[in-house]
Amino acid sequence: MNKSRPSRLRFNFGFLLEAPIGTFREVELDYPSAQVAQDLTLAPLTGSFLATRISEGVYLSGELHSNSSQQCVRCLEDAIIPLQLDIDELFYYPPHSAPEGAYVIGENGYIDLAPLVRELAWLGVPIQPLCRPDCQGLCMECGQNLNHGDCGCKVEEIDPRLSVLKQLLD
């Protein structure tokens, strides 16, 4: 039997479901590392959010900060991408009152923020992550990382049939 570990981002807000509307609780996070999903680990994960009881459920608002390790699209080395995750989400209770696709609070009163944090983190990662803005990339001939120095490969002359196009760049 394969038992998975509960998420570090699973919180019990059952007490808020019994509280009057307007009751709130601030939650602070300071994790050195948090595996949000199999495909994403955030390190560190810090910040805070406010959980407020409203008539439809529990409204979460706040800001988390983290870093994500991605591969640079130019040189293929690790790039640490800083992330700011703005939480602004309603978790519906009871679950049957939620619109399709909305986040819900389980009957046990737990909220798992891992799916929401994963979604916000992937939306915050640039389409083409770079290790640094002036990354030189790889040599097209030998594949050496040009950030570590020149490889010494000769630059081929432009095909004479395309030399007219080069004049447009000058």
Q: Kindly tell me the sign of the dihedral angle through the C-alpha atoms of 131, 41, 115, 65.
A: negative
- Please tell me the distance from the alpha carbon of residue 152 to that of residue 158, in angstroms, as a whole number: 18
Q: What is the pTM of this model?
A: 0.79
- Please tell me the distance from the alpha carbon of residue 99 to that of residue 91, in angstroms, as a whole number: 11
Q: Along the chain (170 residues), what's the average pLDDT of each consecutive run of 10 residues?
A: 64 91 94 88 94 94 95 94 95 87 89 93 94 92 90 77 77
pLDDT at 13: 92
pLDDT at 136: 93
pLDDT at 6: 63
pLDDT at 2: 40
pLDDT at 1: 37
Do residues 93 and 58 touch, judged by C-beta distance below 8 A? yes
